[in-house]
């Protein structure tokens, strides 16, 4: 006996998901969730050995928990206590989630568990103000070295660079951090040029003595 609107089995059996190869269903929950889905199963005649992929969409959310409508892909293996959601897109913010990762951080569209392996990353910069070529302008207020030394002794990090606690709490913005590191390299270049001039002046004075 079919247990869904469309159910394809490789053999008989009324036990839930026994011998099921493909199932099209629409499950309703008391809280208001409505989730039509397609299940692709290995069709094992022992439900304990079942493994399956599910592609579905929560087309109405939970009225109590205020869960968003969601398109999702999930998997359940024979030893898994419940389905594991591998991929989802929510209807509130269009957030894409890969793996089991919290999405409670505003300002982002892609949330990935563990990590991303890619051959190339390109970070867009909105405008020239987000880069630091102005460090080489004559009016740039380069911090005097004694003041910089005092700042480092007091704060244990360079000016403008986030602390370890801030990085742990907020993460690292790749574009912003690369720009800040460039700024520090440019400032360091100015310090080297400044010290070289002072050294040359000292050598010149010594030679005249």
Q: Are residues 74 and 148 in the same domain?
A: no
Q: Which of 85, 116, 147 delimits the end of a domain?
A: 116
Q: Rounded to an integer, what distance in angstroms lies between the CA atom of residue 167 and that of residue 86?
A: 27
Task: Note whether 130 and 179 are within 8 A (CB).
Answer: yes
Which of the residue ranges 54-58, 96-100, 108-112, 152-156 would you say has the lowest mean pLDDT?
54-58
Q: Are residues 209 and 138 in the same domain?
A: yes
Q: Are residues 132 and 208 in the same domain?
A: yes
Q: Are residues 132 and 186 in the same domain?
A: yes
List phi, psi (to 5°) of 194.
-65, -45
Q: Are residues 61 and 144 in the same domain?
A: no
* Owning domain of residue 205: 118-209
Q: Which of 88, 116, 144 delimits the end of a domain?
A: 116
Q: Rounded to an integer, what distance in angstroms lies between the CA atom of residue 103 and that of residue 85?
A: 14
Average pLDDT over residues 60-75: 72
Query: 162: how many CB neighbours lie within 10 A of its CB?
Result: 18
Task: Note whether 119 and 110 are within 8 A (CB).
Answer: no
Share of the chain above pLDDT 90, in %: 36
Q: Are residues 153 and 163 in the same domain?
A: yes
Q: Which of 116, 137, 166 delimits the end of a domain?
A: 116
* Angle CA 10–16–21, to nearest 5: 30
What 3-state DSSP class applies to 53?
strand
Can you say how many angstroms the Cα of residue 116 is from the centroid of all Cα atoms in its chain? 9
Q: What is the dihedral of CA 88, 92, 94, 98, to 10 degrees?
A: -30
pTM, to two decimals: 0.64
Best CA proximity match to 62, nearest among 29, 33, 28, 36: 33
Confidence (pLDDT) at 32: 61
Rounded to a whole number of angstroms, the CA Rg of the chain reads 30
What are 27-53's pLDDT values in tens digits? 766 666 677 788 888 877 776 788 888
Residue 67 has pLDDT above 70, yes or no: no
What are 125-160's pLDDT values in tens digits? 888 888 999 999 999 999 999 999 999 999 999 999
Q: Are residues 9 and 91 in the same domain?
A: yes
Task: Note whether 36 and 61 are within 8 A (CB).
Answer: no
Read off the pLDDT band of 186 (50, 70, 90): very high
Average pLDDT over the chain reads 83
What is the DSSP code (8-state) at residue 60?
B
Average pLDDT over residues 81-96: 85
Task: Note whether 129 and 174 are within 8 A (CB).
Answer: no
Q: Are residues 129 and 74 in the same domain?
A: no
Q: Are residues 31 and 90 in the same domain?
A: yes
Q: Are residues 102 and 151 in the same domain?
A: no
What is the DSSP code (8-state) at residue 82?
S
Q: Are residues 14 and 108 in the same domain?
A: yes
Residue 6 has pLDDT above 90, yes or no: no
């Amino acid at each position: 006996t079919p247990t869904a609107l469309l159910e394809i089995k490789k053999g008989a059996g009324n036990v839930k998901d026994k011998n099921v190869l493909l199932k099209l269903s629409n499950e309703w929950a008391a809280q208001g969730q409505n989730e039509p889905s397609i299940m692709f199963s290995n069709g094992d005649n022992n439900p304990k050995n079942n493994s399956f992929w599910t592609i579905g969409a929560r087309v109405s959310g939970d009225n109590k928990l205020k869960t968003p409508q969601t398109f999702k892909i999930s998997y359940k293996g024979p030893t898994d206590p419940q389905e594991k959601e591998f991929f989802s897109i929510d209807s509130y913010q269009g957030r894409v989630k890969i793996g089991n990762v919290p999405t409670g951080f505003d300002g982002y569209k892609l949330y990935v568990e563990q990590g991303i392996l890619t051959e190339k990353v390109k970070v867009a910069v909105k405008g020239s103000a987000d880069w630091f070529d102005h460090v080489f302008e004559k009016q740039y207020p380069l911090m005097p070295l004694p003041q910089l030394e005092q700042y480092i002794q007091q704060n244990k990090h360079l000016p403008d660079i986030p602390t370890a606690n801030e990085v742990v709490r907020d993460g690292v913005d790749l574009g912003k951090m690369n720009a800040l590191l460039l700024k520090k390299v440019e400032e360091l270049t100015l310090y080297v040029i400044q010290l070289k001039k002072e050294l040359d002046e000292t050598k010149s004075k010594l030679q005249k003595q």
